[in-house]
Amino acid sequence: MILELAEQHDVEQIIFCSDPSVGLKAMIVIHDSTFGPAAGGTRLMAYPSEVAALEDAIRLAKGMTRKCTLARSGTGGAKAVIMAAPEHKTEGMLRAYARFVERLGGAFLTGNDVNISFEDLQILADETQYILGASESLGPSAPVTAHGVFSAMQACLERVNGSAQFDDVTVAIQGMGSVGYELAKAVYSAGGRLIVTDIDSAACQRAEDELGAVAVPEDAIYASEADIFAPCALGAVLNASTIARLNSKIVCGAANNQLLTEEDGDALYKRGILYAPDYVVNAGGAIYVRIQRENPLAAPADLMQGAEEIYATLLHILKESEQRHQPTHRVADQIADEWLSSKKANGNPLEPPHDTL
Binding site for ligand NAI (CB under 6 A): 113-114, 141-142, 145, 174-180, 197-200, 203, 218, 232-234, 254-256, 282, 284-285
Q: Is 65 helix (H, G, I), strand (E, B) or coil?
A: helix
Q: Does 180 bind ligand PHE (CB under 6 A)?
A: no
Yes or no: say if 228 and 222 are a contact pair by the CB < 8 Å rule.
no
Q: With CB cut-offs between 5 and 8 Å by kind, which of ligand PHE, ligand NAI, none does residue 254 bind?
A: ligand NAI
Long-range contacts of 126-129 (CB under 8 A, 24+ apart): 126/95, 126/98, 127/95, 127/98, 127/99, 127/101, 127/102, 128/98, 128/99, 128/101, 128/102, 129/102
Please say if 79 is a catalytic residue: yes
Residue among 7, 91, 83, 6 nearest 49 (CA): 83
Query: How many of the other CB atoms lie within 10 Å of CB of 20?
Result: 8
> Could you say whether residue 183 binds ligand PHE (CB under 6 A)?
no
Check binding of 332 to ligand PHE (CB under 6 A): no
Q: Write down the least CB distance from residue 7 to ligand NAI, Å.
A: 26
What gap in Å lies between CA 246 and CA 251, rounded to an integer? 9
SS3 110: strand
Which one, 25 or 43, has the nearer CB to ligand NAI? Answer: 43
Interface residue with ligand PHE, options 141, 151, 313, 321 (CB under 6 A): 141
Q: Which is nearer to ligand NAI, 176 or 187 (CB)?
A: 176
Q: Which of 25, 67, 79, 185 is catalytic?
A: 79
132 lines the binding site for ligand PHE (CB under 6 A): yes
* Residue 220 or 350 having the CB closest to ligand NAI: 220
Contact residues toward ligand PHE (CB under 6 A) are 39-41, 110-113, 132-133, 141, 256, 282, 285-286, 289
